[in-house]
Structure 1
Amino acid sequence: MTAQPQQLPHPPAPTDHWIDALPQAVLLTEAGCVTRVNAAAARLWNVPQERAAGRPALEIVRRHTLEALLERGGELELEAGGRTLRCTATRDGEFAALIVEDVTEHRRREAELREATAVLSHEFRTPVAALRGVLEALEYDMPPQLAQNFVKQGLQETERLARLVEDLAVGFRPTRARTLPLSEAFSRAERLLGTELAARNTPLTFGPDHLVRADPDKLLQVLLNLIENALKYGPAGQPIEVRTQERGTWVEVSVLDHGAPIADTENLFRAHTRGQRATGQGSGMGLYIVRSVVHGWGGQAWVERQGERNAFCFTLPGVSGLG
């Protein structure tokens, strides 16, 4: 018997499963009819892939604007179900592709950035005007004591201006993360706030030390904003406590004050939002900046009531084994 030659298996046909892994919705057409939708598109338009094939594109996308976009190519944004969708279409003869990306969160952050920049630019006007007035006054001869008062006022406005610059720049400075003990940041914050703490006769205490991984300047900015917030809203003479504890691979830091309970804690982190009991001048950017910085290193920031105190908390990456 003559042996039959062994049949080699055919190589597997190429697949396009990779298209289902894309986060963007993708719809492919030929001569106006759908040839393929990926998994994200099936979810977006609530049409199973097997039912979409062969149907006119309009029946799937259900918007004449998207049908027209497929025909001519180009890009547009539209609102659908409270979401912002960026739609891009390309054509090659009878073949066309529509790619839809959810950019809601991106647009929200852009809007917050524009809003925050507008608020801060407005806040710059007051110290700049005050400094101009001080300099104009110092052009004239006056008693030394009066001149010294003007100089003191100018220095105060300069410090305020410097803090506004820090607030504006904190989200844009390149991250320079390193391993450091929390006590290093605590010491810097206590030194910078020493005058305000003494003026309000407010004791400030810190919890156990931990090694963390963070940008020292941005960590200091978070601590300054939270402790200053406690000074503003807590009663004078009542202690402020900064607690620390390990949370798995993270370290949780909480700044506790004796202020009144806060009704709407979530909105406090929105740009140019201030507490109901806020007095004096302020941009309302402190907590917004805190959350932006903390989110930048992957942590979380929140407010909760702990007994009779408000706790402003955040997490940052820890490094096990202090020292």
Structure 2
Amino acid sequence: MRPYDEEQKLFADIIGESRRNENIPSAKGKLITQKEVDDFVAQKIFTEGKPFIINDASNPEYPVAARQILADLNIKSCAIVPIIYGETPLAEIALVNTEFQRVWKQDELDLLIPIVQQISIGMHIFELNNKLKMALDTERDLRKLIMRMRELDDHNQIFNYILEELMNIYNVDRAIHLHYDKNHNLFAANEVIKSEELGSIKDQIVLYYGNIKEILPGIFDRAIIINNVDEDIEDIHLRNSIKNKNIQAFLLYPIFKTSLVSKEKEYNVAAIAGLIMLCSSTPRRWMSYETITFKLIIDTISSVYFEIESRKEIEQLRTNFIATLTHDLRSPIIAEQKALEFMLSRKPETLLREYSEFIEDIYKTNNELLRIVNNLLAVYHYESGRFELNFEEIKIKDLIDNAVKSVLPMAQDEGAEISINIIDNPVVKVDKNEINRVLVNIINNAIKHNPAGVKINVESKIIDNYVQTAVSDNGRGISESERPHIFEKYPTIKRKIGTGLGLYIAKQIIELHNGKIWFETEIEKGSTFYFTLPIAKA
């Protein structure tokens, strides 16, 4: 008896077999037929709805592939009987002679009809029960997977655990987590194998980018099914590459980075965190219920995995923020404390002018503390959507002059030189306090994050219907690792240079003014931050 998978239009391997004596070889594991043979048999028994009688297995009217399978199993003649419930094909029963040819009589076939009807009812009931059991088992497996995943912290621990469970659930030889390398090849980032004899392929490229298009679809609406590498893969290089790794059949489905609303999940390297691959070292018929539950499990654990990663990221952001904020607040407060301790240690009759230097330092320190607090408040207001801009018309030169004036004390302390080059001076309609915040944050960064004596130039000019402002310095430049994170909020990489709020806020402000902000940088030559603002209409 072989079950039939109507969705995939193929027969599974033998699930039941009875032989007259032990001298007759078993056919189990030997009857995984080619697709064309499955189609031929299904046409004969399901479409025509009657037994398919083969009195002479060598008859040339049968397909070559079918005759070859019959010969390999030493089958002389057989009767293949359909098992159908309603209009749903369920399986085939093959009554086989291996010792001599036999001509089947009609009364023998008629005797089979009530037997097969009872079998079909039994199979249908079994299938319903089996579906219920599989649903319960899948729910149990998912619950177990999710609970354990939440207990694990390390990325590799999580994937090794998932692979171990999948290997056991689907009874496969090998389970792999494939990841993309810089050339978009898929390599085995994690692997679990049933036997060391199979040979580990961890860290090896499993699927090369140049020849995987044959098996990777444009849309991932279901798992990729390869029942037999020799039959299902045309590209000889891809076929040999997979077979050389002791893989003869596999299931493949991606781990998506985001939950896509659409049922059709597009193949996009940027949207895929990797793929899970279940492998068999021998040809295997993957049945519909296996592929459906596999996809369900991977989609579910993908969501849970990225939820865990998101929580970790948020916790890391919180930790970074507290650490950097504490550092930023502690330094000026300690400076203030030292100045106040010195002032308190002097005699009460000491003249106020003798404290002027310390009072000025305390004033500057409080200004820095106020700037940090104001940045925190600005983030809250912008992200909550409660901030309202107060637009007014003003010339760009006035904005630049005011911002430069406010940072001059810091520039003088650090020996920085600031020059202004106004090529064009149009009127813009902006919230002048917020644009001042942008300019001050950018110039402050140029002063604080470069060696003493840095030269800074602020320039404005008209480009199309916008005025472009550029703040350039001849400092150390921004490293490759920092560049992708410059406009992020509290990134880890910015810990040593402050809370990292200034440029994040600047981006929010400029975009609310319908402008753009970006930067260019070169190591040891300096950086230029640009932003644009629409010119006010006359």
Q: What is the letter of the counterpart of residue 157 of structure 1?
A: T
Q: Which residue of 2 aligns with 1:319?
A: 535
Q: Secondary structure at the match of 1:209?
A: coil
Q: Which residue of 1 aligns with 2:520?
A: 304
Contact 1:177 1:213 in 2 (8 A): no
Q: Which residue of 2 aligns with 1:42?
A: 264
Indicate the larger mover: 155-164 or 233-242.
Answer: 233-242
Q: Deviations over 1:257-281 (max 9, x none)?
A: 2224444233444436459xx9xx7
Q: CA deviation at 1:168?
A: 1.7
Q: CA deviation at 1:245?
A: 3.4
Alpha carbon RMSD of aligned pairs, Å?
A: 4.5
Aligned residues: 248
5 Å-filtered alignment, 1:32-71, equals 40-43=262-265, 58-59=292-293, 61-63=295-297, 66=300
Are the structure 2 counterparts of residues 158 and 60 from structure 1 closer, same or farther at C-alpha, using a change threshold of 3 Å? same
Q: Which residue of 1 aligns with 2:419?
A: 204
Residue 147 (structure 1) aligned with residue 365 (structure 2):
no
Flag the structure with larger Rg: 2
Q: 333, 337, 340: which one pairs with 1:128?
A: 333
Q: What is the letter of the counterpart of residue 328 of structure 2?
A: E
In structure 1, C-alpha distance between the alignment counterparts of 2:380 and 2:518, rounded to whole Å: 22
Q: What is the letter of the counterpart of residue 369 of structure 2?
A: L
Contact 1:202 1:238 in 2 (8 A): yes
Q: Secondary structure at the match of 1:170?
A: helix
Q: What is the letter of the counterpart of residue 329 of structure 2?
A: F
5 Å-filtered alignment, 1:1-323, equals 40-43=262-265, 58-59=292-293, 61-63=295-297, 66=300, 78-79=304-305, 84=306, 112=317, 115-116=320-321, 118-142=323-347, 143-144=350-351, 147-173=355-381, 174-181=387-394, 182-198=396-412, 200=415, 202-207=417-422, 208-232=424-448, 239-264=455-480, 265-270=483-488, 271=490, 273=493, 282-297=498-513, 299-305=515-521, 310-316=527-533, 318-321=534-537
Q: CA deviation at 1:177?
A: 4.2
In structure 2, C-alpha distance between the alignment counterparts of 1:300 and 1:262, rounded to whole Å: 20
Unaligned runs of 5+ in 1: 1-30, 33-37, 47-53, 68-75, 87-102
Indicate the larger mover: 167-176 or 56-65.
Answer: 56-65
Contact 2:421 2:457 in 1 (8 A): yes
Are the structure 2 counterparts of residues 245 and 108 from structure 1 closer, same or farther at C-alpha, using a change threshold of 3 Å? farther
Q: Secondary structure at the match of 1:242?
A: strand
Q: CA deviation at 1:161?
A: 1.0
Q: CA deviation at 1:302?
A: 2.4
Contact 1:116 1:285 in 2 (8 A): no
Q: What is the letter of the counterpart of residue 243 of structure 1?
A: E
What TM-score does the superposition give when structure 1 sets the normalisation length?
A: 0.58
Q: Deviations over 1:40-82 (max 9, x none)?
A: 1222799xxxxxxx99995485228849xxxxxxxx9523xxx
Are the structure 2 counterparts of residues 218 and 158 from structure 1 closer, same or farther at C-alpha, using a change threshold of 3 Å? same
In structure 2, C-alpha distance between the alignment counterparts of 1:163 and 1:244, rounded to whole Å: 25
Contact 2:473 2:527 in 1 (8 A): yes
Tell which has more relative contact order, 1 or 2 (C-alpha 8 A, sep 6+). Answer: 1
Contact 2:462 2:468 in 1 (8 A): yes
Q: Deviations over 1:143-196 (max 9, x none)?
A: 436533432332232122112112222222313141433233212212212333
Q: What is the letter of the counterpart of residue 401 of structure 2?
A: S
Q: Secondary structure at the match of 2:469?
A: strand
Q: Secondary structure at the match of 1:192?
A: helix
Q: CA deviation at 1:237?
A: 6.0
Q: Secondary structure at the match of 2:475?
A: coil
Are the structure 2 counterparts of residues 262 and 55 from structure 1 closer, same or farther at C-alpha, using a change threshold of 3 Å? same
In structure 2, C-alpha distance between the alignment counterparts of 1:165 and 1:39, rounded to whole Å: 39
In structure 1, C-alpha distance between the alignment counterparts of 2:463 and 2:476, rounded to whole Å: 27
Contact 2:467 2:532 in 1 (8 A): yes
Q: Which residue of 1 aligns with 2:194?
A: none
In structure 2, C-alpha distance between the alignment counterparts of 1:110 and 1:214, rounded to whole Å: 36
Are the structure 2 counterparts of residues 186 and 112 from structure 1 closer, same or farther at C-alpha, using a change threshold of 3 Å? farther
In structure 1, C-alpha distance between the alignment counterparts of 2:367 and 2:528, rounded to whole Å: 27
In structure 2, C-alpha distance between the alignment counterparts of 1:115 and 1:239, rounded to whole Å: 31
Q: Secondary structure at the match of 2:417?
A: coil
Are the structure 2 counterparts of residues 293 and 117 from structure 1 closer, same or farther at C-alpha, using a change threshold of 3 Å? farther
Q: CA deviation at 1:286?
A: 3.5
What TM-score does the superposition give when structure 2 sets the normalisation length?
A: 0.37
